[in-house]
A and B are shown apart, each in its own frame.
Chain A
């Protein structure tokens, strides 16, 4: 059974890179769904069941921290932040809102 992953990323090129990778290298193991805004990601999470959410922090309209906090009210889905923000305040905020991991950009 393939794992369902939701990628919430506003940058079209980053979305494309990750989608291309999963669609070829992991097509038997992963089913990747994408969302380009925080609200779209939140809606998809509430409507579908995912095994993992890859969430960008700096999103238009509403940021990843807020989406994570909202999702935690109703779901235990593992959430991994993908971000370029590496300062201590953001790391602590990430721990505080119970995300499951952080993957820093330019660090693939």
Chain B
């Protein structure tokens, strides 16, 4: 049965009992639970200047006391604190839920993208390998069937050439995997890009002469990077330019103090392909078999430039295409 605070304070029997106990520490403050959210505090305090100490019982006692009682309701007394706490909890949980769901979504999206990328690259790689494989198979079958026996040497050479082509594709694929996995050692130093360009022009001189392509280089500039990696980038740009330049065309390399450009004439990248040519196995030419390239040259160049955080681009210009990177 609920009792009022006044009744409680005037409950002499109870207070007397507490007083007889000498107001032991545990009696000074008691509380009663009225319901799960309401409590009643009850505290008899010996009256000032009327406290004595009994040597017999080793306790304080008094004939006068003050009784303080207080009824507390958690809802009314702690409402603000509770509401604040609940809102805080809600906010913390909401933020945590948003962060977790956001991260889960990003991981899921990344996985879907990775899966799509994996499927595309596998299909492209399969296609790129199947083309030389089918050529090898065809020539071999013609050899077995004794088709045009006068062309046996020619067939054998073409088989050998296509085996090398497959080998190049696989090597490029492994090289790209190494860059993607950051499994390369970088030895940076400052060097002149002009020297790299001159070496590459000398390397591809005979190939360019065969196609009657004019190659020129102008400007000079130093770059702080790994010479072998930058040579790989310029080499891939050069091979790409030679592949896509018709007979009698031009290739022009320009070195600026903080950038490099390579232009080749008689070429055009379709607008819808200009941003995807850096992806593995993407070629501007949908047939992907005319140039004989692995389809990985520009991807390898892009990966290396990404390593150095250099910006790079490809753009169609008058009667040609220009690839560039900036350090």
Contact = CB atoms under 8 A, between A and B. Distances in A.
A105 B131 contact: yes
Contact of B290 (A60, A63, A85, A105): A60
B323 interface: no
A35 B150 CA distance: 25
Contact of B137 (A58, A59, A106): A106
B137 A20 contact: no
A24 to B, nearest CB: 5
A17 interface: yes
Nearest to A82: B134
A76 interface: no
B131 A25 contact: no
B43 to A, nearest CB: 82
Contact of A87 (B123, B142, B158): B123
Interface string A47-82: 000000000001110010000000000000000000
Interface of A (DSSP majority class):
loop
A84 B134 contact: yes
Contacts of B133: 105-106
B130 A21 contact: no
Interface range on chain A: under 10, 10 to 19, 20 to 34, or 35 or more?
20 to 34
Contacts of A17: 135, 138-139, 141-142
Contacts of A106: 130, 133-134, 137
B138 A108 contact: yes
Given A84-B127, A106-B133, A108-B137, A11 B142 contact: no
Contacts of B290: 10-11, 60
Interface string B134-169: 110111011001011001000000100010000000
A50 B58 CA distance: 124
B3 interface: no
B131 A84 contact: yes
Interface in A84-103: 84-87
Contact of A58 (B138, B145, B148, B288): B288
B138 A14 contact: yes
Contact of B287 (A21, A24, A60): A60
B126 A24 contact: no
Contact of A13 (B126, B135, B141, B285): B135
A21 B148 CA distance: 8
A10 B148 CA distance: 22
Contact of A108 (B141, B148, B151): B141
B130 A20 contact: no
Given A17-B141, A21-B145, A25-B145, 14 more contacts: A10-B287, A11-B289, A13-B138, A17-B142, A24-B148, A58-B287, A60-B286, A84-B134, A85-B123, A87-B123, A105-B131, A106-B134, A108-B137, A108-B141
29 contacts: A10-B287, A10-B289, A11-B289, A11-B290, A13-B138, A13-B139, A13-B162, A14-B135, A17-B138, A17-B139, A17-B141, A17-B142, A20-B151, A24-B147, A24-B148, A58-B127, A58-B288, A59-B286, A60-B287, A60-B290, A63-B286, A84-B126, A84-B130, A84-B131, A87-B123, A105-B131, A106-B133, A107-B134, A108-B137
The 7 closest A-B pairs by CB, nearest first: A17-B138, A105-B134, A84-B130, A106-B134, A60-B287, A106-B133, A84-B127
